[in-house]
Structure 1
Amino acid sequence: MVKITFQSVSAQKPEKDQDADKITVPQAHGRLVPLMKPRKPFPTGLCCLAISLVIFTLGLVLPSIYIYRYYFMSQQIPEDSLFHCRVIYEDSVYAPLRGRQELEENVSIYLEENYEQISIPVPHFGGSDPADIVHDFQRGLTAYYDIALDKCYITELNTTAVMPPRSLWELLVNVKRGTYLPQTYIVQEEMVVTGRLRNMRQLGPFIHRLCFGKETYRLRRRNQRQRIERRETKKCHRIRHFENTFVVETIICDRF
């Protein structure tokens, strides 16, 4: 005979374990530790993007400040640093025009930037070309822009012939009180072209602004022997200008 029995099922549900929400991972030695949620990765890409934007912004702002300072602020010159000069001098070097001559020019003096700019209009008499000249004392350079030829010429600043901005300003302030300077004289300096210049940025912002987009050449001064031996058949042109107590005639020759 076989006896069949039934096991009673309790209606009560087993109590929920308080630790049921915890996820455990078995570890060595039978210890259970909670599983930590992984940390979010650091946004490296976003940080690199922000740094790139800062560098790009600085790359735009700094050149803009430089251009504004040297190309715009330098043009805003006080009226007491602008001069219109008319100089009477004795011409003893150019045969067709020997005697008393008059030179007219406009001078702008930039004391803070330490440079001078001279504008010479078309002369009333022949023998000289109209020109714009920049004397940059900070870089020790002079630039002649011959308007008739539409060419620029760069040479070392001749501090013997050119007064520094402060001294020239004081001289012209005294001149401004009258119409003319006392009669003065003329001296010559001869230059020869030595080659073409293509990198204009090395010349500084003031000369770069004057000569930008123009054929630009280097000049070298001739010594006394070269002046004596110079042939008159060489192609030369003259620029007469005033930046001292005397008039300077700069003779520029294309070659020896």
Structure 2
Amino acid sequence: MVKITFQPVSAQKPEKDNDPDKIILPQAHGRLVPIIKPKRPFPLGQCCLVLSLVVFMSGLVLASVYIYRYYFITQQQIPEDSLFHCRVIYEDLVYAPLRGRQELEENVGIYLDDNYEEISVPVPHFGGSDPADIIHDFQRGLTAYHDIALDKCYITELNTTMVMPPRSLWELLINVKRGTYLPQTYIVQEEMVVTGRVRNMRQLGPFIHRLCFGKETYRLRRRSQRQRIERRETKRCHKIRHFENTFVVETAICDRF
């Protein structure tokens, strides 16, 4: 049997032990010294990289949402029962009584969910009227005329006595969709005067903003019947003929005097 003992380490020479079977292990004085590992540096570069990726991904998501909302949704295929190509026969007994019946053609888009109408009037077969794109926004109570010949936009309050709401106009056009002509009707004149330039386009809503973006845009005010009679000889007007009711409307847009 082997006996193991511990002997403290000292400056003095230890006495010899004559026991041949004893193994002596030296023992250090004082406390145990822990092993201290060096600290790793803070991964600042990795944190900056992660933060940059988060910002980039957030911007990418927001950009995707914007593109989907303002481009893809507005340009996606519209159901056939929301688009109409119409021609209407009417009589102009005031300005062209000798011409007899006249024809007006336009494309109509009715957006029931967004509560607005979009009308496109091509170049007419007769003179005296400009091609135009028109938006009636019932949610904001505004009408926008884009005179294609002038490449200018005009904004006015929505006249609900002349413009049928989307649901009513949709029902009217559905009822005559089997034919190519609306019933013969008449024409109504209205006159607008330019009152000033529109600077803030975003207040007009997304539909009118998209129509008039990048174009000179002006506000309009309706003239009374008396004012139209007094200034008939001096006015300079551009006319747009369109229909969004059971009759044709001739909108005369005149400069200020």
Q: When the two structures are superposed, what TM-score results if normalisation uses the length of structure 1?
A: 0.80
The corresponding residue for 1:20 is 32
Helix, strand or coil: the match of 1:181? strand
Contact 1:70 1:206 in 2 (8 A): no
Contact 1:84 1:105 in 2 (8 A): yes
Q: Say yes or no: does 1:227 pair with 2:228.
A: yes
Please, which runs of 5 or more residues in structure 2 have no aligned partner? Answer: 1-10, 16-23
In 1, Cα distance between equivalents of 2:186 and 2:117: 22
The more displaced of 58-67 and 136-145 is 58-67
Helix, strand or coil: the match of 1:252? strand
> Residue 43 of structure 1: CA displacement?
7.7
In 2, Cα distance between equivalents of 1:172 and 1:205: 26
Amino acid at match of 1:111: L
Amino acid at match of 1:211: C
Structure 1 residues 114 and 46, CA gap change in structure 2 (3 angstroms): farther
Structure 1 residues 197 and 87, CA gap change in structure 2 (3 angstroms): same
The corresponding residue for 1:82 is 83
5 Å matches for 1:2-81?
A: 9-10=13-14, 14-17=26-29, 19-22=31-34, 54=54, 57-75=57-75, 76-81=77-82
> Residue 13 of structure 1: CA displacement?
7.5
5 Å matches for 1:155-174?
A: 155-174=156-175
The more displaced of 122-131 and 52-61 is 52-61
Helix, strand or coil: the match of 2:228? helix
5 Å matches for 1:231-242?
A: 231-242=232-243
The corresponding residue for 1:135 is 136
In 2, Cα distance between equivalents of 1:10 and 1:197: 106
> Residue 61 of structure 1: CA displacement?
2.6
In 2, Cα distance between equivalents of 1:8 and 1:158: 116
In 1, Cα distance between equivalents of 2:98 and 2:49: 70
CA root-mean-square deviation: 3.1
In 2, Cα distance between equivalents of 1:156 and 1:216: 14
Contact 1:192 1:254 in 2 (8 A): yes
> Residue 201 of structure 1: CA displacement?
2.2
5 Å matches for 1:69-218?
A: 69-75=69-75, 76-95=77-96, 99-218=100-219
> Residue 45 of structure 1: CA displacement?
9.2
Contact 1:77 1:110 in 2 (8 A): no
Helix, strand or coil: the match of 1:182? strand
In 2, Cα distance between equivalents of 1:242 and 1:143: 14
> Residue 22 of structure 1: CA displacement?
4.4
In 2, Cα distance between equivalents of 1:82 and 1:219: 28
Structure 1 residues 42 and 233, CA gap change in structure 2 (3 angstroms): same
Aligned identity (percent) is 82
Helix, strand or coil: the match of 2:207? helix
The corresponding residue for 1:33 is none
> Residue 231 of structure 1: CA displacement?
3.5
Contact 1:74 1:110 in 2 (8 A): no
In 1, Cα distance between equivalents of 2:162 and 2:123: 23
Helix, strand or coil: the match of 2:179? coil
> Deviations for 1:139-172, whole angstroms, at most 9, x for unmatched residues?
2211111111111111111111111111111111
> Residue 93 of structure 1: CA displacement?
2.6
In 1, Cα distance between equivalents of 2:131 and 2:12: 123
> Residue 187 of structure 1: CA displacement?
1.0
